[in-house]
């Protein structure tokens, strides 16, 4: 059961009793994150979203939840189950997509990369401080000319003595202008293989010479997280900051496959928020002499929204189980991302329609979730790219050049 921001009345979003599959610990984690969202996030997030400012005031509260680092075990990380990690994404994105992206970049892309591809010294060096949010991370893969075609990235790395010298550009890099630790993917000039390098702030809090950022403005979604362009001009990184187990783009793919399910869970969270808002509004809004929830058109919309939401939940729950069993494949993750992004986007649109003109107001939350879903629909691989990954698995034929 969930409680909407608009009403204290519960709205049932667990039609197939999936809560019964959660352990006591997973239920407690979900309740803890939901409580934080309801008491700390929802009262302030619209103002931050509208002003396109990051809510730094919420960071200490997030750290106290003990969720940063997600499924990573040791190094001060919580070692959550896949379902518990899913609950974190659902509840945080039910509150706000920008905050969920902040946590996803931190726990999944940044810390996940170090945990998966770093050696023991590198894990001990960076993960504990990131788990407490004393150090913020960023993940620099996407480039201005290489979004979906990320394997063709042009950022280069050249070994010079005890350093690597990096040159290139990155785009849409969440946290890149505030991060203490930035993972930069670059093509090693020695063997033309894509490898990972960790850039750190200097002791005085400045960035190394040659690393500059320019904030991307004018976004219609995820406005409360900063996603800058990054310029990398002869940036020198110590050789020991090269990720020890990052040898080629296949290793990037391993990270992206592991984190793609997080985007699917996020889509569920946005879908829940929009559905809750629609049900709450429809039962309270009176037109033509009765609540609009009593009209056939509205009931038909709500029934179909719940149907799609339930299917999304079932896919994510099953994917989490497969991941815990080591059986999740990249096409499985792609199928989940494609389906949940499509359906959550549709649910948000239906909610906006039910709320009419009021659906355009931030105070009713639907417009924020609707535009944030436009971002989810694109990142971690667009629908089109996910469909081609699945299609390749179905047919054995690659549609990529």
Tens-place pLDDT, residues 139-163: 999 999 876 666 779 999 999 999 9
Give the pLDDT confidence score for residue 152 in this predicted structure. 78
Residue 141: per-residue pLDDT: 95
Q: What CATH class is the domain 2-131? A: mainly alpha
Could you tell me the two tokens for 383?
């629908």
**H or E stretch covering 215:** strand 211-215
Q: Where are the domains of the chain?
A: 2-131, 137-241, 249-395
How many of the other CB atoms lie within 10 Å of CB of 66? Answer: 15
Each residue's pLDDT tens digit, 247-269 = 999 999 889 888 888 899 999 99
φ, ψ (nearest 5 deg) of residue 77: -90, 155
Residue 2: per-residue pLDDT: 38
Task: Classify domain 249-395 by CATH number.
Answer: 1.20.140.10
Using an 8 Å Cβ cutoff, are 232 and 169 in contact?
Answer: yes
For residue 270, CA distances in Å to 1, 30, 125, 167, 225 come to: 15, 15, 35, 37, 16
Given the structure tokens 């352990």, which residue do they identify? 23
What's the average pLDDT block by block, 10 residues per block, for the chain (401 residues)?
47 95 96 97 97 97 96 96 96 97 95 97 97 97 78 92 97 95 96 96 94 95 96 98 95 87 94 98 96 97 98 97 92 95 97 96 96 91 90 93 69
Find residue 138's DSSP bridge partners: 182
Model pLDDT, residue 256:
86
Question: Which pLDDT belongs to residue 146?
Answer: 74
Contact indicator for 368, 46 with CB cutoff of 8 Å:
yes
CATH architecture label of 137-241 = Beta Barrel (2.40)
Q: Is 90 exposed, middle or buried (0-12, 13-18, 19+ CB in 10 A)?
A: buried
Distance of CA 152 to the CA centre of its chain: 23
Which residues on adjacent β-strands are paired with residue 164?
159, 237
Q: Is 75 helix (H, G, I), strand (E, B) or coil?
A: coil
Residue 9 has a pLDDT of: 64
Contact call for residues 232 and 170 (beta carbons, < 8 A): yes
**Using alpha carbons only, how large is the chain's radius of gyration in Å?**
21
């Amino acid at each position: 059961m969930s409680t909407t921001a608009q009403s204290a009345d519960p709205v049932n979003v667990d039609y197939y009793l999936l809560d019964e599959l959660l352990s006591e610990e997973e239920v407690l984690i979900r309740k803890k994150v939901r409580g934080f969202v309801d008491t700390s996030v929802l009262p302030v997030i619209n103002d931050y979203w509208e002003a396109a400012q990051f809510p730094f005031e919420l960071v200490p509260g997030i750290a106290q939840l003990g969720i940063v680092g997600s499924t990573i075990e040791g190094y001060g990380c919580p070692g959550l189950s896949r379902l518990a990690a899913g609950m974190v994404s659902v509840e945080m994105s039910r509150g706000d997509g920008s905050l969920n992206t902040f946590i996803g970049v931190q726990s999944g892309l940044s810390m996940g990369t170090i945990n998966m591809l770093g050696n023991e010294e590198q894990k001990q060096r960076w993960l504990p401080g990131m788990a407490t949010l004393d150090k913020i991370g960023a993940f620099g893969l996407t480039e201005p000319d290489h979004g979906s075609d990320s394997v063709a990235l042009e950022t280069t790395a050249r070994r010079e003595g005890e350093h690597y010298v990096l040159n290139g550009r990155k785009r849409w890099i969440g946290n890149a202008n505030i991060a203490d630790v930035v993972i930069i993917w670059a093509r090693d000039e020695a063997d033309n293989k894509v490898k990972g390098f960790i850039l750190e702030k200097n002791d005085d809090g400045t960035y190394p010479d040659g690393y500059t950022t320019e904030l991307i403005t004018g976004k219609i979604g995820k406005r409360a997280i900063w996603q800058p362009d990054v310029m990398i001009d002869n940036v020198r990184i110590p050789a020991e900051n090269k990720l020890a187990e990052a040898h080629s783009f296949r290793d990037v793919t391993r990270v992206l496959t592991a984190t793609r399910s997080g985007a699917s869970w996020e889509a569920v969270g946005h879908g829940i928020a929009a559905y809750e808002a629609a049900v709450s509004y429809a039962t309270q809004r009176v037109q033509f002499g009765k609540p609009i929830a009593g009209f056939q058109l509205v009931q038909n919309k709500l029934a179909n929204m719940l149907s799609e939401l339930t299917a999304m939940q079932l896919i994510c729950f099953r994917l989490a189980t497969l991941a815990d069993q080591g059986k999740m494949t990249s096409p499985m993750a792609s199928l989940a991302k494609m389906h949940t992004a499509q359906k959550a986007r549709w649910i948000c649109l239906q909610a906006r329609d039910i709320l009419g003109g009021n659906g355009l107001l931030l105070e009713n939350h639907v417009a924020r979730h609707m535009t944030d879903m436009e971002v989810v629909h694109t990142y971690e691989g667009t629908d089109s790219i996910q469909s081609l990954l699945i299609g390749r698995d179905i047919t054995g034929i690659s549609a990529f050049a």
